[in-house]
Structure 1
Amino acid sequence: MPDPQFAAGAAAERFAQLAVELHSTGGVDETVQAVVDFALQALDCSHAGVALSVSGRKLEIPAVTDPVVAEIYELQMNGGKGPLADSMRDRSTIIVSDVATDGRWPEWAEKVLGLGVRSVVDVPLATATGTVGVLGLYSVRPDAFGPDDVAIAHILARHASVAVATARSEQTLAQAVDARKLVGQAMGILMERYDLDGDRAFEVLRRYSQDTNRKLRDVAQDLIDTRKLPH
């Protein structure tokens, strides 16, 4: 029997390594991929995946370890019932010890059994501002996840929640900086070509953005690419 202290120390070291990996990843997709890869190493699961909320209640699937997970997620992404939807809505951990006997989501269970999955754990990725997604763990064996597995899944989900929120914030900031650069370049073109001052050049871009119902950065990008204002 393995020494519990050794096991705990090894787990702590692996989570420390994960924290470093998540901090050094380049974006949201890379972050969640590191999470699901770690889940396969640290937990007794056959497959793992992450679904993230975008644009309100819409979901996307940026990382899975097996196409089976994407199929299970897609069953629930368009109003379907299942543990993922409940976990996201209620910010609660959902444990399905045996899909064959659970009984809470019959239609979902029938399809998931057809994919060979028997045990499921869905853990919300939650921050102070809301739920950012769900970490899903799957096994082809019934009763695959014990209390220790669920506890580790909660720790992993907390790491993932913070990492995803940070990656999204950095991504949004980078996009904002990029947009400002594009608008500045486009204003420079207008100022040089039409002898406009900065305020007037920005007003021209803003008016074209409103008239064409397009984002300011997209209008600026077109002007930079074509050296012409859109019709």
Structure 2
Amino acid sequence: MTEQDLAATSADAFAHLAIELHDAPGVEETIDAVVQFALQALSCTYAGVALYARGSQPEVAAVTDPVVADVYTLQINNQNGPLVTALRDRTPILIRDTLTDDRWPEWAEKVAGLGVRSVLDVPLATGNETRATVGVLGLYSDRPDAFSQDDEAIAHILARHASVAVASARHEETMAQAVDARKLVGQAMGILMERFDVDGDRAFAILKRYSQDTNTKLRDVAQQLIDTRKLPH
């Protein structure tokens, strides 16, 4: 296959991936599509994605094999390893052989024991100036020096697609939750207005006061009122 044929095939594959990511109904489905594509398009034995929520530790979002969850968990628990570094520095990390790489010796020894020899961690980041880090795409092979320059280039393109898709899916989920919360609050206000013969402003003030006094989200106060027909104590 010529370089032109390879480029055309890659472009076509990414076009199909873009459509699949766009049609994915949520974050979980989006990430699953990314790791499955990685297995098909790259020289990796396993793939996974760890997603990062600001103010909390990264979480394992999708893996193609339980061994990837073990690789991630070792790093998340100890806050040490290529995943943590890729997240913190927003830079890709390539480990050609876990038996000879000396940057994270304790982690590398354990990972080599799991049968992983090559690692490529690529950060998922959105934006230009702020470059908010979304997570990391992790690619793993049971062979040393498994990732070529072409693999690295494709991994970076895949990471960019994944970054945008995850950010978009999260935004849509947040918007859906906001709409759901407004509906719940509206229903709860209706219950209070009917029961206590108050107007909308007063009903909302009651919900807000209970939310503040009980340190409970307004949405949860509304849900409890709808479910039990009682305000929280």
Measured against the shorter chain, the TM-score band is over 0.9
Amino acid at match of 1:194: F
Matches within 5 A, 1:32-47: 32-47=31-46
**What residue number does 1:120 align with?**
119
Distance in 2 of aligned mates of 1:57 and 1:227:
35
Distance in 2 of aligned mates of 1:62 and 1:109:
22
Distance in 2 of aligned mates of 1:137 and 1:218:
40
**What residue number does 1:222 align with?**
224
CA drift of 1:78 comes to 2.6
Distance in 1 of aligned mates of 2:62 and 2:77:
19
Question: 1:99 is paired with a residue of what secondary structure?
Answer: coil
Q: Runs of 5+ in structure 1 lacking a partner? A: none
**What residue number does 1:25 align with?**
24
Aligned-residue sequence identity (percent) comes to 70
Matched, 1:206 2:208: yes
CA drift of 1:80 comes to 2.8
Q: Runs of 5+ in structure 2 lacking a partner? A: none
CA drift of 1:57 comes to 3.9
**What residue number does 1:184 align with?**
186
**What residue number does 1:137 align with?**
139
Question: 2:180 is paired with a residue of what secondary structure?
Answer: helix
Distance in 2 of aligned mates of 1:206 and 1:55:
27
Matches within 5 A, 1:1-231: 2-128=1-127, 129=130, 130-231=132-233
Distance in 2 of aligned mates of 1:230 and 1:52:
34
Aligned length: 230
Amino acid at match of 1:172: T
What's the CA shift string for 1:150-206, capped at 9, x where partnerless?
000000000000000101111111111100000000000000011010010001101
Tell me how large the CA RMSD over aligned residues is: 0.9
Question: 2:75 is paired with a residue of what secondary structure?
Answer: coil
Distance in 2 of aligned mates of 1:26 and 1:89:
29
Amino acid at match of 1:107: E
Higher mean Cα deviation, 136-145 or 120-129?
120-129
TM-score (norm 1): 0.98
Amino acid at match of 1:137: L
